[in-house]
Structure 1
Amino acid sequence: MITIKPMGLEDAPRIRDIDRSETIGSVYTCANGVMEETKAGHECPNWQEDDYTAIMSRFERELRSGGTAYGAYDGETLVGFGVLASTFRGKEQDQLQLDLMYVTRAYRRQGIGSRIMDALSETAIAKGAKSLYISSTETESAVKFYASRGSAPTDEVDEELFAMEPLDIHMVKRL
């Protein structure tokens, strides 16, 4: 039984439970709202220690600045998590960023990501957001997941987030 519950700063080390590896069949690029798919066919390895340290630091920074995190647990093992940033974005200042979202390899395609995204969406609505801003990795699995949850490429790319992750597919999900 997978349980979705809030995460705190003390939960950051549990991120080491996540196996982010995957076989990448295709990647996407997006220009002027038009996505193009390119076959990739390679294996993306799990994080190394430097990667875990960077993700945990980003997780902690977001929570310290008022962000919200939810984790998916199988017993005591973290099998997925997502982070909602606290800074409002967009022309109308009515978007909150879904900052981090990962489900460990062995637990994917079981609805866990959807449950985490639902919890983060409810929190965003409670904070007054009208949509989620998503800077998705360009992989087929990530882009198709967000699209299946109602996200679409944005016409209004956040320049700060684009500068940090220019290869990502920048999307918005209306709440």
Structure 2
Amino acid sequence: MEFRWLTRKELTQIENIDRKELIEEVYYVRDQELKLVKEYYDIEGWLPSELALYTQRLTSIFDRDGVIIGAFDKDILIGIVSLESYLIDGKTMKLDMLYVSHDYRKKGLGRRLVDIISQEASELGAKELYISATPVRNTVDFYLRLGAELANPPDIYLFELEPLDVHLILPI
């Protein structure tokens, strides 16, 4: 397994990440508490429009001098993590994106990517990561296991961008 910064040209390789996931529970934030609700979604992969938006988002982060790190298995991108280039309130950086291919989940790859991006953020002066997580139970539980807590209050601007997400702070 190889971990390295991605070049601008490599950003389109996000399409190689297998997003497949069966979702049975999602979180909603109510009165500053997480409430688990049964909802069923069968994610089969990237929608073409979604893939284009995520590639564009990564390109924008890259062009703003953000950090984008990929995990490769035999030259195939199997995981990606990205970090915005600016500090929020002088101490927080936004972990913008984390994806791990289906067959590589629950093997420590996501944790390793978060560790790597946390080190990068720390070197840039951050004390914590802001995470706007999709409300899927597996995703939110992953960040909670790493020590993240609900952002109280969430960043107003980031909350407006993704009001259905679970907004978290992860000390680094």
TM-score of the two chains, using structure 2 as the length reference: 0.96
Tell me which of 149, 156, 166 is aligned to 2:153: 156
How much does 1:160 deviate?
1.2
Unmatched segments (≥5 aa) in structure 2: none
How much does 1:28 deviate?
0.2
Aligned-partner Cα distance in 2 for 1:3–1:21 = 22
SS in 2 for 1:170: strand
How much does 1:156 deviate?
2.5
How much does 1:58 deviate?
0.3
> Counterpart in 2 of 1:83?
82
How much does 1:33 deviate?
2.1
1:69–1:84 CA contact under 8 A, matched in 2: yes
Structure 1 position 125 matched with structure 2 position 101: no
Matched ranges for 1:1-175 at <5 A: 2-89=1-88, 92-175=89-172
1:4–1:115 CA contact under 8 A, matched in 2: no
Over 3 Å off, 4+ runs:
none
SS in 2 for 1:88: coil
Q: How many residues are treated as equivalent by the alignment? A: 172
Say what the alpha-carbon RMSD is for the aligned residues.
Answer: 1.0
> C-alpha offsets along residues 90-128 of structure 1, whole Å, 9 cap, x if unaligned?
xx3210000011001111111111111011000000000
Aligned-partner Cα distance in 2 for 1:75–1:150 = 31
Aligned-partner Cα distance in 2 for 1:150–1:7 = 27
How much does 1:86 deviate?
1.1
> C-alpha offsets along residues 57-114 of structure 1, whole Å, 9 cap, x if unaligned?
000100110100111100110001000001211xx32100000110011111111111
Aligned-partner Cα distance in 1 for 2:155–2:63 = 22
Aligned-partner Cα distance in 1 for 2:126–2:31 = 25
Aligned-partner Cα distance in 1 for 2:85–2:30 = 27
SS in 1 for 2:87: strand
SS in 2 for 1:113: helix
Q: Which amino acid aligns with 1:102?
A: Y
